Amino acid sequence: MSQLPRIVVLATGGTIAGASANPASSARYQAATVPVATLLAAVPALQSVARIEAEQVAQVDSKDMVFSLWSALADRVQYWCGQPDVAGIVITHGTDTLEETAMFLHLTQACAVPVVLTAAMRPSTSLSADGPLNLLDSVRVAAHADARGKGVLVVLNQQVHAARDVAKAHTSAVDAFVSAQCGPLGYVQDDLVRIARAPVRTATGVLPVPEQWPDVEIVASYAQPGRVAVDAMVGTGVRGLVVAAAGNGSVHETLVAALRDAAAAGVAVVRSSRTGAGHVAIPPAADPVDGVFVSAADLNPYKARVLLLLALAREPGLAAAPDRLQALFASA
Ligand code: ASP
């Protein structure tokens, strides 16, 4: 009889590991308290899908994500990817910043076997907790041959998403994760894993995990913004700024002036959109910010920040080369 595939579960915390004294409440609970062994034991069906090994890499509420944990997670992913008999890796995570960690892994990890992030919107003790099924489905996907070569994946609510595309789009619903622009890659229905298409951008591992992380922040454009935040950040040595711009990358004139000054001081400026979907156009030649501000393409501000962080960490000089930075945003 052939052996079940060996799947490694790397646990980092989140609501999937959350607990509450009141099962009827999905809002009042403590995230990141239940150990991974308990989470796995709650899903006996896993035993017929894979041989599972688990590591508690961290136990945090992902709202408090830090770069040192990203680095530690990348180390563990690299380690397990290097083990010849590992068929796939599942990472349990909080939903709040899952899209950022997914983007980080998409950009830094070149793993031959599937790397799948999962999470839950409801704590493990709640009525209709979604974590157990999300965990089982993630292991099913990580163990599936069709998931190979698809880049880093995110599995929740029976859907399979590309790490680059997915974002949290609801405060509490179990279908909170959407790939607004391109849709999910596939779905899981009990034993059936159906990956319907491959993302074009599976070129993972294009950027190294930084030794030193530059200061890269996000500012937003809205009615009558001040420039004090941008000026203050430039004053404290920020290396990059992502603007959560309105609509198709529109930035208030007050902020344009502040950001042009920031760019002149050597800060990389990237325009993303606060709308939640769509591609920010590279401005036409008549646009006053053409060639100065970079378009984030279809990356939301939080994902654009991750790319800018990694790009500036690898090559600080990119801040003064918007054309090359634009080429990276057009391809990563
Ligand atoms: N605050 C939690 C976290 O991100 C939320 C969740 O996991 O749903 O860790």
Q: What is the pLDDT of residue 110?
A: 93
Ligand 1 atom with least separation from CA of 121: 8
The CB of 163 under 6 Å from ligand 1? The reply is no
In terms of Cβ atoms closer than 10 Å to its own Cβ (0-12, 13-18, 19+), residue 44 is exposed
Does residue 211 sit within a domain?
no
Of 195, 230, 261, the position where a domain reaches its end is: 195
The CB of 55 under 6 Å from ligand 1? The reply is no
Do 294 and 171 share a structural domain?
no
DSSP 45-108: GGGGT-EEEEEEEEEE-GGG--HHHHHHHHHHHHHHHTSTTEEEEEEE--STTHHHHHHHHHHH
Do 154 and 19 share a structural domain?
yes
Count of the separate structural domains present in the chain: 2
Beta-carbon count within 10 A of 315 CB: 14
Which are the catalytic amino acids?
15
Ligand 1 atom with least separation from CA of 119: 7
Q: What b/e string do you get for 193-230 counting C-beta neighbours within 10 Å, with b at 16 or more?
A: bebeeebebeebebbebbeebbebbbbbbeeebebeeb
Residues of the chain scoring pLDDT < 70: 1, 203-204, 284-290
Q: What is the pLDDT of residues 211-221, one digit of tens each?
A: 999 999 999 99
The CB of 96 under 6 Å from ligand 1? The reply is yes
Q: What is the pLDDT of residue 24?
A: 85
Do 170 and 49 share a structural domain?
yes
Beta-sheet strand order (sheet of 268-273): 216-220, 240-245, 268-273, 294-295
Residues 6+ apart with CB under 8 A from 232: none
- Rg (the chain; Cα; Å): 20
In terms of Cβ atoms closer than 10 Å to its own Cβ (0-12, 13-18, 19+), residue 96 is middle
Do 188 and 225 share a structural domain?
no
Q: Is 331 helix (H, G, I), strand (E, B) or coil?
A: helix
Per the CB < 8 A criterion, the answer to whether 33 and 19 are in contact is yes
Q: What is the pLDDT of residue 288?
A: 62
In terms of Cβ atoms closer than 10 Å to its own Cβ (0-12, 13-18, 19+), residue 274 is middle
The domain that holds 102 is classified in CATH as 3.40.50.1170
Residue owning the nearest CA to atom 1 of ligand 1:
61
Q: What is the pLDDT of residue 290?
A: 67
Phi/psi of residue 140, nearest 5 degrees: -60, -45
CA of 274 to the centre of ligand 1 (A): 21
The CB of 12 under 6 Å from ligand 1? The reply is no
Do 186 and 43 share a structural domain?
yes
Instruction: Dig out the tokens for 147 from the structure.
Output: 């998931």
The CB of 62 under 6 Å from ligand 1? The reply is yes
Ligand 1 atom with least separation from CA of 18: 7
Does residue 201 sit within a domain?
no
User: Can you give the residue range of the structural domain that contains 247?
Assistant: 216-331
Q: What is the pLDDT of residues 87-99, one digit of tens each?
A: 999 999 999 999 9
Q: What is the pLDDT of residue 60?
A: 98
Does residue 73 sit within a domain?
yes
Q: What is the pLDDT of residue 27?
A: 79
Does residue 109 sit within a domain?
yes
Per the CB < 8 A criterion, the answer to whether 80 and 72 are in contact is no
For residue 216, the surrounding DSSP H or E stretch is strand 216-220
